[in-house]
Amino acid sequence: MSPAPRDHGVLIGMMSLEDDARVDFSLLRGERRAKVLSGMETHGLDALMLGGSGDVHYVSGARQLGRAGVLPYAPVAVVVRETGRVHLMSTWDEGVPPEIAREDLYGLSWNPMSLMASLANVPGLRDSRRVGTDGLTPMFAAMISQLVGSAELVDAAPVMAAARRIKAADEITCLDVASAIAESALSAMEDALRPGIAERELLGIYDEHVARLGAPTPPSESVCFATPSRGPVRFRHLASDRPVGDGELVVLAPGALYAGYEAGLARTRVAGQSAPPGAADLLSRCARSMEALLAACRAGNTGADLYRAWEDAGGVESPVPLAHGLGLGAEPPVIGLGRGAEASLEEGMVLSVQSWVAEEGVGGCLQRATVVIESGGASALTRYGRL
Amino acid sequence: MRRERFQKLQDGLSAGGLDGLVLLGSSSVVYATGAAMPAQDGDRAALFRAVAVVVKGESAPHLYTLYADGAPPELPSDHLHGPLFPDLDDGMDLFAKALTAHFAAGAGIGVDHQSHAMLRGLSGFDWADASGVLGAAKLQKTVDEVSCIRQAQLLNELAMVDALRILRPGVRQIDLSAVFLRRVFELGASAGGIDPIWQVMAPTREIGPWTLHGDLAYPTVTTDRFLRHGDVIWVDAGIVWEGYASDYGRTWITGADPNAQQLVQFRRWRSVVDACLDILKPGVSGLQLGKVAIQANDGVRPWIEHFYLAHGVGTDSAEMPLIGTDFGDQFDEQLIMQPGMVAVFEPVIWEDGAAGYRSEDIVAVTDTGWIKLSGSTYDPYGFGA
């Protein structure tokens, strides 16, 4: 490939190209691993035992089975500083990148005792003095302590969260691709939106579309809801059987994953021809608040600046976060819901930013964007017409 | 159903001498509270997780959630709370306040997961592993729980009819996912479970993916791989209805009907499951089930080394009872089948050189035997009771 394509657009696709123009995943994994090992050095950690799916993905780069929900902690990936090796719980090597050799794998076990026996064979792990984990259970705390003797069990977050927080250029490209997939899903949902369609049908169309594009695991199935033009308006997360009413404002909020990286966006559309009176005002209020939030997403600002921007634009307390981090899934900080006033924004962070406004008698309106913090301010990775 | 589950947890607390439970894993929260939440991928599900608090002696659980629209209708309003953020140091003031409202200092609390923020920020309690209380409660299903599993399974099977219909050379694995997922949500699934699996089985172990144990690799992750004439596909998918997981397993063939050898594989699979079902009733041990399965397969263990002959299903896609795992024979011997246990039998018939057959039959153990929760068509191999 050309050393650095001047038109970034050539990178935005999922198939590999003959000239290797797109993301060089081997390079990306190498960068991530180097960041982790150097963080371990800085924080004096000899080993990491990780269970969080984003952390495991970050250190291993393995294609793992997508599953909904969060499981209690278990050590799925191990990083040993002395050897520089990453070990992964996988009974086979399909989906495992080549730098994780077959001898670096340990098998899936149901019995935690067998798991511990496998881990005992990981070179260098038992000699660790400080071991970072990204969670624990009382059972694993006891078992890991037994495995690593007198080693101290500490939080892996200073290494992992720090490594994941600022995105490398190839990570941004992955997020760009995820954004494009999400935009494509939004187009499909928009095409299907009409009075009478049920939310669950729209969810089905969304899932069908992202699967067909090769990204079948949705970051969230909370992708659409109709808002009533009469009575109280609530932000809803679960798709219902209820048919969308003529003239209702409908939130379409698809996300997508590409190589584990998550992006998403939301737009609000009117189902049918006639919007309820007051809809135009509500939509422009939503857009103004969004602009205010985006303007506050600057390096050096804090969560408090987002709160202030939101309030100055007339926003009332939001039932969803104003912003949160994105990368290999959702990440800290969470700004909103009373959290994150002190979180600082730095160049290279990626955020999901959202503006939700509602008015009884009209409905609700959501705008959401995926943005990267750059030196001059926030730059949107997701692009889509407002209305 | 939710009341009965809650009572079981209360009984477990009394038996285990605990003052309460704090639950953070998605399936445990669902079990304890009946809360619905949108299916979310790993770290999103973690950062925005719902939390359940069960206090000994109370009549309802406490649910801390961002997804208030998923709270069960009967949950008293003072038991429904806004979200906690157990993964953030920034969330510990809220979390500590919540726990102080429910528990006295020094209380013994069962927990299923602890973040380091919790380990730093929630002192003054005596934390124990919640798995004992949860495991005991979940092991035997109530009649309503069994009905939920059956309904989840029915939706899953119906959506698979549409997926199988499009299977022909040139279709990709993700095309099958697309058809399946769209249809299953139209039919009423509450949430997806796992990324559907359409693994093409190489005819020999040697040319399949390398494994640590030399046995088969399964399941491998779906991609845009094209399915080609004659490919033998082991399908596995699970969706969720009202918090309960389905588990669909079948073998398909791309662009061809099963040949005589493949039909023999299927009949052997059937006879292995039938051998288990012939003896299945309360009082039978996991080890006995394993033995008759091996016997019916002429002495060869008919399941993959890293898996099992059978596993339970409930609010988790694989839970106790596990039969034939690395817990070992002694564990299996002590695992006695009881009414209300649900078992997914998924033996594997393998003929190196001619691939093999794998399906899954789900049954619930009754007072006298069992009832089947999964369907009895095994297209394109035909019917089997």
pLDDT of residue B220: 96
Q: Judge whether A213 and A188 are in contact, CB under 8 Å.
A: no
Q: Please judge whether A70 and B38 are an interchain contact, meaning their C-beta atoms are less than 8 angstroms apart.
A: no
**Chain A residue with minimal CA distance to B304?**
A91
The predicted pLDDT at position A9 comes to: 84
Residue A55 has pLDDT above 90, yes or no: yes
pLDDT above 80 for A2: no
A167 strand-pairing partners: none
Q: Please name which of B48, B68, B29, B115 lies closest in space to residue A332, comparing C-alpha atoms.
A: B48
pLDDT at residue A35 tops 70: yes
Six-digit token pair at A288?
């103004």
Return the percentage of chain A with pLDDT > 70, whole number.
Answer: 99
ipTM: 0.96
With 0-12 / 13-18 / 19 or more C-beta atoms within 10 angstroms meaning exposed / middle / buried, residue B77 is exposed
**What is residue A363's three-state secondary structure?**
strand
| Residues B369, A199: Cα–Cα separation, whole Å | 41
Per residue in A323-379, pLDDT tens?
A: 999 999 999 999 999 999 999 999 999 999 999 999 999 999 999 999 999 988 999
Task: Tell me the one-letter amino acid at B374.
Answer: S
Q: How far is CA B83 from the centre of its chain?
A: 26
Backbone angles phi, psi at B285, to 5 degrees: -95, 160
User: Domain residue spans in chain A?
Assistant: 25-164, 166-380
CATH architecture of B143-372: Alpha-Beta Complex (3.90)
Query: Which residues 272-301 of B are in CB contact (within 8 Å) with A?
Result: none
Q: Check if A370 contacts B (Cβ < 8 Å).
A: no
CATH ID of A25-164, from 3.30.9.100, 3.90.1010.10, 3.20.20.80, 3.40.350.10: 3.40.350.10
Cα distance between residue B208 and residue B200, in whole Å: 9
Dihedral, CA of residue A220, residue A221, residue A223 and residue A224, to nearest 10: -150
The reply to whether the predicted model has a pTM over 0.80 is yes
Q: Across residues A167-195, what is the average pLDDT?
A: 98
pLDDT (0 to 100) of residue A11: 87
Topology of domain A166-380, per CATH? Answer: Creatine Amidinohydrolase (3.90.230)
Query: How far is B140 from B105, CA to CA, in rounded Å?
Result: 33
B259 CB neighbour count, 10 Å cutoff: 12
Give the mean pLDDT of chain A.
96
Cα of B384 to nearest chain A Cα, Å: 30
Spatial separation of the C-alpha atoms in residues A97 and B218, rounded to whole Å: 18
The residue assigned the tokens 């699934």 is: B189
CB B345, CB B334: distance < 8 Å: no
| Residue A65 CB contacts under 8 Å (≥ 6 apart), including other chains | B194, B195, B197, B219, B221
Which CATH fold topology does B2-138 show?
Creatine Amidinohydrolase; Chain A, domain 1 (3.40.350)
Cβ contacts of B331 on chain A, cutoff 8 Å: 111
User: In whole angstroms, what is the distance from residue A163 CA to residue B116 CA?
Assistant: 18
Terminal alpha carbon distance of chain A: 38
Judge whether residue A235 has pLDDT over 90.
yes
Mode of pairing for the β-strands spanning A47-50 and A77-80: antiparallel
Residues 6+ apart with CB under 8 A from A350: A167, A172, A175, A325, A326, A327, A370, A371, A372, A373, A381
Distances (CA, A) of B228 to A84, A212, A276, B262: 41, 18, 52, 17
- pLDDT at A246 exceeding the cut of 60: yes
More confident residue, B270 or A1: B270
d(CA A183, CA A206) in angstroms, rounded, equals 11
User: Residue A3 pLDDT > 80, yes or no?
Assistant: no
**What's the full length of chain B, in residues?**
385
Over residues B27-41, the pLDDT tens digits come to 999 999 999 999 999
Tens of pLDDT, residue by residue over B350-379, are 999 999 999 999 999 999 999 999 999 999
Helix ranges (DSSP H) in chain A: 25-43, 53-60, 112-120, 138-147, 157-165, 169-192, 199-212, 279-296, 303-312
B63 and B79 Cβ atoms separated by less than 8 Å: yes
Percent of chain B that is helix, strand, coil (3-state, to 5)? 35, 20, 40
pLDDT at B254 over 60: yes
What pLDDT, on the 0 to 100 scale, is given for residue B294?
A: 98
Cβ pair B181:A207 closer than 8 A: yes
- Quick one: average pLDDT of B106-111? 98
The reply to whether B88 touches chain A by the CB within 8 Å rule is yes
Q: What is the mean pLDDT of residues A210-230?
A: 96
Given a cut of 70, whether residue B385 has pLDDT beyond it is no
**Both tokens of residue A38?**
């150097």
Model pLDDT, residue A68: 93
Ranges of H-type helices in A25-137: 25-43, 53-60, 112-120
According to the model, what pLDDT value does residue B289 have? 98
Average pLDDT score over residue span B96-114:
97
Q: Could you report the per-residue pLDDT of A63-88, keeping only the tens digit for each?
A: 999 999 999 999 999 999 999 999 99
- Cα(A151)–Cα(A154) distance, rounded to whole angstroms? 9
The mean per-residue pLDDT over the stretch B200-227 comes to 96
Does the pLDDT at position A387 exceed 60? no
- % of chain B with per-residue pLDDT over 90: 98
CB pairs under 8 A between A and B: 252
List the domain boundaries for chain B. Answer: 2-138, 143-372
Residue B339 DSSP one-character state: T
pLDDT at B2: 96
Could you give the percent of chain B with pLDDT greater than 70? 99
> How would residue A13 be classed by pLDDT, with cut points 50, 70 and 90?
confident
A154 in reach of chain B (CB within 8 A) = yes
Q: What does the block give as tokens for A245?
A: 């009413």
Q: Is A135 on the interface with B (CB under 8 A)?
A: yes
Res A1: pLDDT: 62
Indicate the pLDDT class of residue B86, thresholds 50, 70 and 90.
very high
Q: How confident is the model at residue B95 (pLDDT cuts 50, 70, 90)?
A: very high
Whether residue B69 and residue A209 make contact (CB cut-off 8 A), yes or no, is no
